[in-house]
Amino acid sequence: MKRRPFEAGCRCGVRWNGLNVAHCGACHETFTSPNGFDAHRRIGECRLPSECGLEPKNRAGNYMWGFPDDGRLAARRNEEERAQPGPVTSNDTHVEEDPS
């Protein structure tokens, strides 16, 4: 049996798929993640998503707000940096022996 994606909606008519999507019941904007939702709410008030570092996204025909790279690019950069050997600093305990 084929799994059906999670689908939700609001009385405002907006529909979305995904367990991590967040929808604001006050301003009726939809966000790609709870973090995006949290960024737009401060002290119980909604802020414009574009003023919070969010940009419009199209997720399978569902329009919502999200961070520019949704955190994926930053996570990939961190993985790449960990995989590359770093420079030897004075705090490192490894000492190269003189071959002579």
Between residues 17 and 6, which one has the greater pLDDT?
Answer: 17
Which residues have a Cβ under 8 Å from the Cβ of 68 and sit 6 or more positions away? Answer: 53, 55
d(C-alpha 69, C-alpha 75), whole Å: 10
Tell me: pLDDT of 36 over 80: yes
Q: Band of the pLDDT at 86, cuts 50, 70, 90?
A: low
Which residues have a Cβ under 8 Å from the Cβ of 17 and sit 6 or more positions away? Answer: 5, 6, 7, 8, 59, 60, 62
Summarize pLDDT for 22-35 with one digit per residue, the tens.
999 999 999 998 98
d(C-alpha 1, C-alpha 94), whole Å: 56
Tell me the pTM: 0.63
pLDDT at position 94:
47
